[in-house]
């Protein structure tokens, strides 16, 4: 998949856009994501012989991390809406000679169509619900496929809090000397992110509520707010930085700057930001994210699906 021109937007972003096509930047992304992967998998309490469902598998970070935990008698089911990403995972599995322990199903998180009822021991997902409009339906689908006593473990950025934490930064760098210009650039990204949409319209309390209403039990939601002076990327060229985008729906940083600023403003903005990007100085990276673990009851009682629950004061209602 070296040429990404013909792949779908999800694969194009995951395999190119998030790291600007730079292999070193992609490795740094993986270094950042690996502890998140491990915490999600630890929260799932995966046992040898388990069937693990990786919802929204992407390029397989969680799924392939699960293989060593399920052992030779276990199975990992990779699901995604992107056929190109499923093909990428299938190719990785074949090269690693583990495809006999893997299944690949194209299906959305809201339905998990193609996955049988009560057929998996574990559901895992990472940064998927931020793209799902109907989160209650997704939790209902998680419950449907879990066996009695099965476990769910997930990670989600809490972007609503992230925005509030980073009003004085942009792309993880201090922009107070060029705050007016940074606000114009930020406005380009905010214009494509509905404040009540799937990426911004929820927080950790909503995750707790919808998990409860779905009928899951033993729910733990852990919100983490972090701040560090370590930038997202080190030794990053300005050209690579301009080709990056924060998510599949967003423009690249370069396109946002070009759209927001005129030539003179762009020159001032670049003179401030470029040295910080290329020298890894002046960073202030703040994050807000949540880990959620829960369990399917051993004897599942009758319950009202979360998607049919009474009104709740959240954007999902």
| DSSP structural state of residue 229 | S
Give the model's pLDDT for residue 232: 83
The residue ranges of every structural domain in the chain are 9-308
Residue 155 has, within 13 A of its CA and on its CB side, a CA count of: 22
| DSSP structural state of residue 289 | E
What whole-number distance in Å separates Cα of residue 17 and Cα of residue 15?
7
pLDDT along the chain (317 residues), means of 10: 61 88 90 96 98 97 97 97 96 96 98 97 98 97 98 97 91 92 95 90 97 97 95 89 92 96 98 93 91 90 60 39
Torsion, Cα 289 58 111 65, to 10 degrees, reads -80
Model-level pTM? 0.90
In sequence order, which residues have a C-beta less than 8 Å from that of residue 157 and are 6 or more positions away?
Answer: 127, 130, 287, 288, 289
9-308 placed in CATH 3.40.50.150: yes
Q: Which two tokens stand for residue 79?
A: 């699901």
In sequence order, which residues have a C-beta less than 8 Å from that of residue 147 and are 6 or more positions away?
Answer: 118, 119, 120, 121, 296
Q: What are phi and psi of 55, to 5 degrees?
A: -85, 125
What whole-number distance in Å separates Cα of residue 38 and Cα of residue 193?
29
């Amino acid at each position: 998949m070296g040429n990404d021109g013909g792949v779908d937007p999800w694969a194009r972003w995951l395999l190119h856009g998030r790291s600007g096509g730079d292999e070193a930047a992609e490795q740094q992304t993986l270094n950042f994501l690996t502890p998140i992967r491990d915490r999600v998998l630890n929260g799932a309490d995966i046992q040898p012989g388990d069937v693990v469902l990786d919802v929204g598998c992407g390029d397989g970070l969680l799924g392939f991390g699960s293989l060593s935990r399920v052992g030779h008698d276990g199975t990992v089911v990779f699901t995604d809406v992107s056929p190109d990403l499923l093909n990428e995972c299938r190719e990785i599995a074949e090269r690693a000679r583990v495809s006999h322990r893997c299944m690949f199903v194209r299906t959305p998180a809201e339905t998990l169509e193609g996955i049988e009822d009560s057929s998996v021991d574990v559901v895992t997902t990472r940064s998927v619900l931020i793209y799902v409009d109907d989160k209650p339906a997704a939790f209902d689908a998680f419950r449907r496929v879990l066996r009695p006593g099965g476990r769910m473990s997930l990670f989600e950025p809490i972007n609503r809090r992230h925005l509030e934490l980073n009003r004085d930064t942009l792309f993880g760098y201090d922009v107070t000397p060029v705050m007016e210009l940074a606000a114009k650039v930020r406005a380009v990204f905010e214009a494509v992110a509905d404040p009540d949409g799937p990426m911004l319209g929820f927080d950790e309390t909503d995750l707790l509520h919808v998990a409860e209403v779905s009928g899951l039990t033993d729910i733990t939601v852990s919100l983490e707010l972090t701040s560090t002076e370590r930038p997202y990327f080190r030794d990053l060229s300005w050209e690579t930085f301009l080709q990056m985008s924060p998510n599949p729906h967003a423009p690249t940083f370069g396109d946002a700057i070009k759209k927001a600023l005129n030539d003179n403003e762009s020159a001032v903005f670049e003179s401030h930001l470029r040295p910080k990007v290329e020298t890894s100085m002046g960073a202030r990276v703040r994050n807000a994210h949540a880990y959620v673990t829960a369990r399917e009851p051993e004897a599942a009682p009758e319950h009202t699906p979360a998607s049919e629950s009474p009104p709740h004061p959240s954007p999902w209602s």
